[in-house]
Amino acid sequence: MNNIRTNWYKKAVVYQIYPRSFYDANNDGLGDIQGIIEKLDYLKELGINCIWLSPIYDSPQKDNGYDISDYEGIYPPFGTMEDCKKMIDEMHKRGIRLIMDLVANHTSDQHKWFLEALKDKNSPYRDYYYIRKGKRNGKKPPNNWKGFFGERAWERIGDTDEWYLHLFTKEQPDLNWENPKVREEIKGVLKFWLDLGADGFRCDVINLISKKQDFRSRIPLPALTGMDAYINGPRLHEFLHELYVDVLSKYDCMTVGEAVMATPKVNISLVDPKREELDMIFNFSHTDSDNFFGVKYFYRKFKLTRFKRRLNKQQVSLAGKGWNSLFIENHDQRRSVGRFGTTEDDINSSKSLAAAYFFLQGTPFIYQGQEFGMRNAHFESMDEIKDVESFNVNAILSKVPVFKKRFKQILFDVSRDNARTPVLWDDSVYGGFSKVEPWIRVNKSKNEVNAKHALDDKDSLLYFYKDLIKLKYDYKVIEDGTFKMIKIANPHFFAYERENDSEKLVVISSFSKTCRRFKYSEIIPNSNIVLSNFKEHEKAFKPFETRVYLFKKS
């Protein structure tokens, strides 16, 4: 087949925008599309060349847009389709590509398909969803499955004997991908956006789209009962391949799938180019290294060696076979400052972490505000929290005796809202995000941590990210070099080599609060350093010093 796909994603640096918190151009307290347009020059200057835009589609916003009521319409407070076209145009003019968020495991309960399905028992839309008879004359759900926000995965339809499946909130009914008509509809959505100019998709919870069809109860688990039936279901690969063949292969686009709880085996099966499914996935094994069982509420102390081992596993298992995504933050994760061995009082720790993840093999992603070190929100009351997940989990876990006392604090620490406070553009009253009070409270650190402050200081994290991005484009070895972790058991350093026929790149990042030596034969402290957060280098690394060495082979 004549392949029109250029795999441009291998040269991409992607910046994620969570629109409701990015920039409010019309001063209604909510970010918007015009706000994105206004900040494109800032992003161009940062150096990124691709944007992943979290959902802007029409939606009742029960889950901040991850509950879509019209895949081809824009949520009016964010703007119009005309604004959207202008935004795509302005991005492309600046050499920035756009990947849209494809939320196709579920729709909103206000989507016309679901409304039609409920209205009429004979409607063809009924089979777009999983609607099943309940047990005990319909009074009990069809099985004991639980969803991602802690609740049971079924909602009764009025006082009928039927229930529908929802793996997220009850306002997000799961689509039935077994139905070929559903797959055609989703292909139509993909085509619509690609024809409009989108360059690809971040595919929300994509490894949930196929479910085992027995719908039997499973052994109850502390979380996600039934997961063996709905994670990596039997027809997952077939459905993805179908999307690829019928749509994705026909455009020079890219896909990154969000894959929950992906093992290395699942990871490679989704991104092996020979299988023609996805280009890469988000694998959360490293971000989950500070919790038990992949459940963030069961959190534990961060350990650099655990974090490294998990990233190493991702890298090694895909080496030479498939592409990686590289990330430390997104809109569902709390901020990395103060999380992955970094501290709020030493910006060098964020620089050290940034260099550590940025030059691994794969496409780096930066989440809005990460580039200048936005911090967690430090919530103090439930009134400050807006996320439906936090509410639903709070309602359940606050009743469990072992959680009772500590649970609120855990919730404040790990709530997804930590990443969703407005981007701090300056130190004005609402952090330069808006002139009116935003939809969620402004981060209290606005006076110390904001984009303006970072732009005024050549030593800021932002300029360091700028340098990282530039290096990523400059050296081919970052794209195609082999990967080798160095001294993986060392608890103070994150170090690795990338090597191809002509170059070798070595990254050594200290995560130590004291000066330490890192014995490694090939380096001489002051030569071949292409990037560092310190100007002078001695044998010992200063606290949180990072050095990137580049050796040319003759």
Cβ atoms 175, 189 nearer than 8 A: no
Closest separation between CB of residue 154 and ligand ISL, Å?
17
For residue 65, the minimal CB distance to ligand ISL (Å) is 9
Min dist CB 63 to ligand ISL, Å, is 5
Cα 441 to Cα 430: distance, rounded to the nearest angstrom: 9
Provide CB contacts within 8 A for 99, sequence distance 6+.
14, 50, 51, 52, 53, 198, 199, 200, 201, 202, 254, 256
- Compute the least distance from the CB of residue 284 to ligand ISL, in Å: 7
Q: Based on CB atoms, which residue is closest to ligand ISL, 4 or 400? A: 400
Residue 252: CB partners within 8 Å, gap ≥ 6?
Answer: 4, 5, 6, 8, 199
What single letter denotes the amino acid at residue 158? G
Q: Which of 32, 58, 67, 258 is catalytic?
A: 258
Residue number with CB closer to ligand ISL (419 or 506): 419
Nearer to ligand ISL, 416 or 542 (CB): 416
Helix %, strand %, coil % of the chain (to 5): 35, 20, 45
Q: What is the Cα–Cα distance from 316 to 326, expressed in whole angstroms?
A: 14
Catalytic residue flag (residue 258)? yes
Residues 6+ apart with CB under 8 A from 544: 346, 348, 349, 351, 352, 509, 510, 511, 512, 513, 533
Note the residues at the interface with ligand ISL (CB under 6 A).
Answer: 63, 66, 103, 148, 168, 204-205, 258, 260, 296, 331-332, 389, 416
Active site residue 380: no
Residue with tokens 């494809």: 102
Is 355 in contact with 546 (CB distance < 8 Å)?
A: yes
Q: Nearest distance from residue 544's CB to ligand ISL, in Å?
A: 28
Distance of CA 289 to the CA centre of its chain: 16
* C-alpha to C-alpha distance for 497 and 484, rounded to whole angstroms: 5
Smaller CB distance to ligand ISL: residue 296 or 504? 296
Smallest separation, CB 203 to ligand ISL (Å) = 10
Residues annotated as catalytic (active site), given as ranges: 204, 258
